[in-house]
Amino acid sequence: MNSTSTQFVSSRRMGLYDPIHQISMWEENFKSNCNSSASVPLIGEADVKLDNQSEDSSQGMLGIPKNYDQEANKSIEKIQRRLAQNREAARKSRLRKKAYVQQLESSRLKLIKLEQELDRARHQGSFTGCVLDSDNLVFAGSVNSGIATFEMEYGQWVEKQDRQICELRSALNAHISDIELRILVDGIMNHYSHLFRMKSAAAKVDVFYVLFGMWKTTAERFFLWIGGFRPSELLKVLVPLIEPLTEQQRMDVYNLGQSCQQAEDALSQGRDRLQQILVETVVAGQLVDGTYIPQMTIAVEKLEALVSFVNQADHLRQETLQQMFRILTIRQAARCLLALGEYFQRLRALSSLWANRPSEPPA
């Protein structure tokens, strides 16, 4: 008993807390006490031991509960902070749920109102005499989506074209080889081909949008011809910028311009004829029960021919560019593409200046 107690006290005086060492001492103490004849002296001796401990050992024993209290306080504070965070997160979650429910309720009311308006429209008819139904709304939604997609893609197309123009200008100034220059020219030509494919897809969605160049700036629309530039007029602008030309080249460009003019006249006459037919179709017949749905159905079928006019005009533009590059050398073709790109840039700049011009004060 005395030797065990001595070991226990000396370990306390060291001021170290070694749980494994103390557990082993407690086990030895417990075993020695179990071998004695009576268990009561164990308590008494333990009391004597506690009374006879020195001041240092008492202070060592009291230091550990202090550390435990500090750790316990820290744990309690951490738990309290975590609980507070959980309560705040739950509160925000309830607010979000409430806002979401209110939004759903608002959307439900709007949907009910829209259904009521649709019901009234079905009974009354639209301003053209046609019946408005959900199919019309779905079609309008798909048209808007298709046009929005085209406008986004066209914006990206213009940005890429501007970068290509800068690269082409730098390449011409640096006098790079014809092989390297041809790579740039072919890339720009493919870029124009991509534009014509985009316009063809957009024309199937809304041919009037493409026909009148609604995605272009105001100055560009002023020079518009069936959804784009007029090839014969553009040749007159570009040819002086790519001089000098040989006599054969000049003759080939002149013949190309004449061919473009003939094709443009044919397309313009066909468009005018279609317009006349549409006018006759719309005004033909008598009103039946306050509507003229049969005439409108026929007119819509004839309007589909406008898509073909837009595609043919773009095909003429693309063929004109390709024929020009068969006539010109690679460096002349590069200067032609550079002039073409800068021409469209200047038209956009003109539109911007016109839109931001100072307004005159009212008289």
pLDDT digits (tens, 9 = 90+) for 268-315: 999 999 888 888 877 776 555 555 666 677 777 778 888 999 999 999
Q: Which of 64-73, 96-105, 135-144 has the highest mean pLDDT?
A: 96-105
Lowest mean per-residue pLDDT among 21-35, 80-94, 270-284: 21-35
pLDDT for position 65: 55
How many angstroms separate the CA atoms of 347 and 218, rounded?
A: 9
Residue 336 pLDDT more than 60? yes
pLDDT recorded at residue 264: 95
**Alpha-carbon span 36 to 19, nearest angstrom:** 26
Mean pLDDT, range 116-126, rounded to an integer: 55
The tokens describing 138, both together, are: 């779905």
Cα gap 151→334, rounded to integer Å: 28
pLDDT in tens, 70-83: 777 778 888 888 88
The pLDDT score that the predictor gives to residue 67 is 63
Q: What is the mean pLDDT of the chain?
A: 76
In terms of C-beta distances under 8 Å and separation of at least 24 residues, what long-range contacts does 155-158 make, across chains too?
157/191, 157/194, 157/195, 157/198
Q: Is the pLDDT of residue 21 over 90?
A: no
Q: Break the chain down into helix, strand, coil percent, rounded to 5.
A: 85, 0, 15
d(CA 328, CA 46): 113
Question: 245: helix, coil or strand?
Answer: coil
What confidence tier does 95 reach under pLDDT thresholds 50, 70, 90?
Answer: confident
Write out pLDDT tens, residues 221-240. 999 999 999 999 989 988 98
DSSP single-letter state for residue 127: T
> Residues 264, 266, 269, CA angle at the centre, nearest 5°?
105
Judge whether residue 348 has pLDDT over 60.
Answer: yes
Answer with the residue of higher pLDDT: 58 or 305: 305
Q: How confident is the model at residue 362 (pLDDT cuts 50, 70, 90)?
A: low
Residue percentage of the chain with pLDDT more than 70? 67
**Nearest C-alpha neighbor of 214 from the set 273, 270, 159, 150:** 150
Q: Is the bond into 244 cis (omega within 30 degrees of 0)?
A: yes
Backbone angles phi, psi at 263, to 5 degrees: -65, -40
